[in-house]
Structure 1
Amino acid sequence: MATKLIIADDEPLVLVGLQSMLSWNELGIEIVAVARNGKQLEDAIAKERPDLVITDIKMPIKSGLEVLKASSKTYGRIPLFILLTSYEEFSFVKEALTYQAVDYLVKLELTEQSLRSSVTKALQLLETLQAESGHTFPLLERSAMQSFRDKFFVRLFNGLIDSRQSFEKQKQELQISFDESWYAVCYVEIKSKQEEAEVNLYYSTVGMLKETLGRYLTTYITSLDLHHLAITFCLTSEQAEHYRTIIRQVLEKTLQVIYNYFSVQLVCSVGLTVQDPYHINESFLSARQLLASSSDGHTILMAERKNTEGSSFDLGPFKVRLTRAFEELDADQLAKVIEDIAKEMQDQCISALQAVETASNILYMAITLLPDGQNLVQSAFADESGGYRQIYSSATTAQCSTYLRQLAHGLVEQLQSRKQDYRAKVVANIQQYIKENVARKLNLGEVALLFGFSQNYLSSLFSRYGGCSFVEYTTSAKIAAAKEMMAKGDLKIYEVADKLGFESSFYFSKVFKKVEGISPRQYLQHLQRKRS
């Protein structure tokens, strides 16, 4: 489970340096927010509920020390704090240590080694505290939440969400707010000469995009592959009236910041605006088409309706089969539907640009919707000099069809050889989700939607690889949590029932007795006898 980190400093260079100084992903840490003053930090802590905070001890509006004091009072020991100081601030450091700050680092002496040492110390303490307190994580781990959101948006971009009802349920579960009046998707290509550091560079770029864009507009950023991402701009009616000017200005500022810090160039293509977020795929596809057809060398492109009408290959006839193949990790079905798409592209004699667009969309689906998708796709083209990225230089529809067939063949080999492992891993992930959300009223339908499966398929998958049904596992997890709560002796039976989402203490007692063979009251008496 990823550890959630917030970094705060009023100096932009320090802020960026901290984000890129360590390979946070390798440490199991995700940077969920950055802040430039104490008020922003306090708000970010309330919103993200991080495990760890690295903050400058002196900042505008509120100091890091003031935020530490308030956080300790409100949230207790977690989040843990690491403080950044200058030499003359040691008096503040001594006060901070009384509030149980984990460590302090002098800015002028800050190195990768000292930061890593301090973070490792914090992670060890965090593990100890969580084990001692039975600390439960927020409803959904941030790293998992972002993964689910990426999958949601990739399905949405490609019209693979089968109904508005499913769309509404998923966005509610993923806490995605589509409250604005208009939406536009920006398709982004990342160009860098630093290929050897592309993973860290990619995530640093994404982090900077989130931080910079978030100051101006409401956005959602979706990872596609290590060289492409999508930005969904959410616009008010007033902003939509001048969206071309507003988005262009925001992107110009953002691209300059990213280039200054990372020497990375971004090419951005902004699609058509839509009012209904359920039809965001229209904006995404127009953005893709615009970038594919452009050769003017501009870094920011804006779509116009007259240039994009009727210019995309229709995946509609393949939608149901494609969705089911990805949902069920069905290698044979995936190979068949991709072959049919490849053949149809050639039969329709579509343009090379349309073919590249279609193949790229299927590529993104594979990377995002399949377990370990990035590695699966890379393995499919391991013997090719250009790897899976060769699709972007394809010059004919025939080349794109050949590419799709190779992708399908590689995925089939990988999925068939690891099908059981992948399905067991999916069930293990769902079981972990159930444990982390044991206080909620979970039902099969909602969890199936969240993980991108049909309800029937998830039910059979769970029974086969989980050793019991979804309902049985959920019930077992709740009762196990109830026993832990009762063992601590702090809660009454009706309070335990309420905390675990049972309709009433009577129903809780009924379920408890069915699982354990005795009532909760008898179980408490048994615990008391053991203690005495």
Structure 2
Amino acid sequence: MLRMLTVEDEPWISKGIEKMLPWQQYNIQIVGNARNGKIALDLIKLYKPDIIITDIRMPVMDGLSMLEQLNKEMTSYPKIIIISGYNDFDYAKRAIKYGVSNYILKPIDPEELKTTIENIKNQIERERQERENISIIQLKNYIYERISNREKHMDADVVFPCKYYLFIFSLVPISNEELKNIGRNFLLRMGSQHIYVVYEDSSEALINIIKTNIKQLQKRYPCGVSQIHEGEDLSVEHAYKEAIQNLKYYREDEKNVSNHVFLNIEDESKLLLALKQGEKRVFTQHLNEILDNNQTLEAHWFILFQLYIEISKYFNIDNRLDQNKAWLQEFKSISQWDDLYRWKAIFFDPLIDYILYKWDKYSKDYSLQVKIFIEQNYHNSSLSLDMVAEYLELSPSYLSWLFKKETGINFTSYIAKKRIEEAKKLLIQTQLNLYEISKAVGFNDVKYFIKVFKKEVSLTPIQFRELNT
């Protein structure tokens, strides 16, 4: 429910506003009335209203002075409706400066107020959806960096849009029709892997989705599902590993990946680095050493499976293995050494040659291209690893790894620093308010902008401006 505060020194007018519209039908709760701007500032801090209807002429502190103070403190960015008995253009001009949504003359016309409230309510809903979309972009970038670079830090700025989530892991894309049946979700493309993050406000809702829709989904797609995790738990690599371990296309007899780990992290890293650097000899030599140290068919099966999972995280191999389901069928049916040798010769070795050909150590300077792309698009709040990776025709997870390796800083941190540097210029060189500056540098949420700015500069934007102007 949206919260609304009225600021009016005439009680009969504030009472009239309360009775003028059926506020409950608009999903709006009037949380209070302030007799002047000074009292209103305290109530704004307490209730954090989404909408404020305020008069201009009031004792102690008038409406515009209140808005000026609110603009400085930046405790909230509610939608403002000004009401006044003075048809004065100067007032309207000053009001626009503080981001006022509408200016209504007294006596208030109920139809005009109704139209204004409906427009503002629609605007708030659009902005909330946009904030959720931006939150998902930040979250996706975080997951890419967390899994691709194995970074252990926790990012307090990243939040899940709901309280609970789970991962679905698949090596083939799930149709949009199927996805509609599993609730709110978004897709992470990690090379040839498809990671679907499903989220809801309650664990019961996710349990119900698992029992019904996801169980049916697993009959049609080779996919694994993680446990349910709380949104505050940002150790997303746990959900990722669980989803891989719960894949449903293993042989149903002795093979169970959760109990067999033949390829350790050090081996994985060494093999992947050889691939990423185009070192076929190093890759082949190390893989053969690992296989020689594990003599059983089962061990070879799991080593190649684990390696394929890691390779598919970084490299877009869908076009090369467009018969992914056939590949999986062949792989799970391996029961003797001849089957394994045949599968390796037909599927695995050509795949490695393809990757080494395409991703050799003499590839373009992608990190420079990323920096140029960011320079041209930092003002776009939707800028993401997905967007840059699509532009460069790379896997987002590979791009994340490559950018961190070559620059020493992850993609998200680089964008944040770029945006804050541009914001510092605007704070010094212009009179734009914080809302306008945050928009100009790609932050749609001004409170988040202030938080990131303070984290980078150790000062609030207002403190920085006062010290440098």
Higher-RCO chain (CA-CA 8 Å, sequence separation at least 6): 2
Structure with the bigger percentage of helix: 1
TM-score, scaled to structure 1: 0.43
TM-score, scaled to structure 2: 0.47
